[in-house]
């Protein structure tokens, strides 16, 4: 128990000196870029940005992964969603490139971050299959950006969750 309290205290104090960005704007931009990709390969775009149960689930996955060095997938794919893609990006240093990425994120210019997430999923055959699967047209994206107090590092964690419209409508109708 003492160890748990110590860990939570360290996490709390380390978070005090950071800028944290959880932005619907970034989430929507990633979602739009996924739809642009789907359209470019001849698939219909996702028709619905889910903002209730699946989004809350996705936010939990993103938040959990932002606290660990290496993110991990959930064990609930199939119950809450049909597909899941995770992405982590870390940049650090004193270079002008890192400073620009930090400044862009702080000013809500999310082009670089959204491009990196989507391109990473496109470059991975298993993730590309998930984001382009024709039947999975209800989806959500959640993200968290953490910038160090000294503005020399940035970390992005994001999650994409999707399901078929039929599955979504069936579960929605049961509420």
Residue 72: CATH number of its domain: 3.40.33.10
Give kind and range of the element (H or E) at residue 90.
strand 83-92
Q: Residue 117 sits in which domain range? A: 19-173
Count: domains in the chain: 1
Residue 64 lies inside a defined structural domain of this protein: yes
pLDDT, tens digit, 9 for 90 and up, residues 70-79:
665 666 655 6
Instruction: Quickly count: other Cβ atoms within 10 Å of residue 21's Cβ.
Output: 19
Verdict on whether the full-model pTM lies above 0.85: no
**50, 64, 48, 7: which is closest to 140 by C-alpha?**
50
Residue 21 and residue 14: Cα distance in Å, rounded? Answer: 16
Residue 131 lies inside a defined structural domain of this protein: yes
pLDDT, tens digit, 9 for 90 and up, residues 77-131:
556 788 999 999 999 999 999 999 999 999 999 999 999 999 999 999 999 999 9
Residue 10 lies inside a defined structural domain of this protein: no
Nearest 10 degrees: Cα torsion 159, 115, 45, 32: 80
Residue 153 and residue 158: Cα distance in Å, rounded? Answer: 17
Residue 85 lies inside a defined structural domain of this protein: yes
DSSP strand pairing (48-49 vs 153-163):
unpaired
pLDDT, tens digit, 9 for 90 and up, residues 30-61:
999 999 999 999 999 999 999 989 999 999 99
Strand partners, 3: none
């Amino acid at each position: 128990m003492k160890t748990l309290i110590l860990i939570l205290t360290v996490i709390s104090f380390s978070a005090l000196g950071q800028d944290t960005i959880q932005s619907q704007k970034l989430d929507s931009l990633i979602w739009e870029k996924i739809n642009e990709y789907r359209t470019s390969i001849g698939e219909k775009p996702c028709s619905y940005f889910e903002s209730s149960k699946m989004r809350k689930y996705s936010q939990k996955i993103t938040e959990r992964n932002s606290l660990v060095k290496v993110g991990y997938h959930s064990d609930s794919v199939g119950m809450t969603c049909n597909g899941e893609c995770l992405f982590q990006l870390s940049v650090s240093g004193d270079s002008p490139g890192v400073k620009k990425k930090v400044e862009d994120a702080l000013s809500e210019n999310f082009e670089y971050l959204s491009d990196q997430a989507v391109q990473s999923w496109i470059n991975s055959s298993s993730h590309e299959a998930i984001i382009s699967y024709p039947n999975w047209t209800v989806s959500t994206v959640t993200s968290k950006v953490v910038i160090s107090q000294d503005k020399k590092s940035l970390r992005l964690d994001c999650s994409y969750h999707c399901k078929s419209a039929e599955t979504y409508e069936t579960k929605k109708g049961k509420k």
